[in-house]
A and B are shown apart, each in its own frame.
Chain A
Amino acid sequence: DAKTTQPTSMDCAEGRAANLPCNHSTISGNEYVYWYRQIHSQGPQYIIHGLKNNETNEMASLIITEDRKSSTLILPHATLRDTAVYYCIVRLLNYGGSQGNLIFGKGTKLSVKP
């Protein structure tokens, strides 16, 4: 089972920041938080991941709380093309590899409206 809880759906106005929350209260010390998104009828697309520090790349920012029990994915200026299902995934990583598969929940359906 997925180790994360996300809202089923969210709306965001075009041009505004989209803040997608994720709860992972049972996360362990060597588990990372990954975010993927899936635009309709396409394969999932990797967005960002982090362990405990905040992370930023060209797509998004990831804010992880100090206790690591929750995180927020931020799309700073949402566009209509950001409409997708966003998945928050907790994954074990250790030196030399990972646990293998990703465990997806149902994600958050983000609708960006004009």
Chain B
Amino acid sequence: DTGVSQDPRHKITKRGQNVTFRCDPISEHNRLYWYRQTLGQGPEFLTYFQNEAQLEKSRLLSDRFSAERPKGSFSTLEIQRTEQGDSAMYLCASSFSWDYTDTQYFGPGTRLTVL
């Protein structure tokens, strides 16, 4: 069990550029979540997938954000036309929905800095 992995770990970009992050969940987990965390705050939910289907999206997920999980394994989160307010840690988590506890396990996060 290698845990949840995220790539890259750090990303610095200029305002207006597009960025894409990748998350690889724990191999048998069918649910995958994206969260965003700004300094001094707890993580905030963005969206989640069960297998390939995107089941829920937060109002925080503006139209500049898009997430995909095309084969029900890894997921990508893309931010178009980045703004300075997008600077945050982007966290991915995964879980196994047939496990009654459905415990979510988090990756190390991708820290985005928008200049």
A contact residues vs B (CB 8 Å cutoff) = 2, 34, 36, 41-46, 49, 85, 87, 93, 95, 97-98, 100-107
Chain A residues with Cβ below 8 Å from B109 are 41-43
Chain A residues with Cβ below 8 Å from B100 are 93, 95
Chain B residues with Cβ below 8 Å from A107 are 42
Are B102 and A97 in contact, CB atoms less than 8 angstroms apart?
yes
| A36 to B11 CA separation, bound complex (whole angstroms) | 26
Chain A residues with Cβ below 8 Å from B111 are 41
Given contacts A100-B56, A101-B48, A101-B56, contact A46 B42 (CB under 8 A): no
Interface residues on B, range: 20 to 34
Are B48 and A46 in contact, CB atoms less than 8 angstroms apart?
no
Cβ of B105 < 8 Å from any Cβ of A? yes
Are B42 and A42 in contact, CB atoms less than 8 angstroms apart?
no
| A31 to B69 CA separation, bound complex (whole angstroms) | 29
> A2, A44, A97, A105 — which one has the most chain B CB atoms within 10 A of its CB?
A44
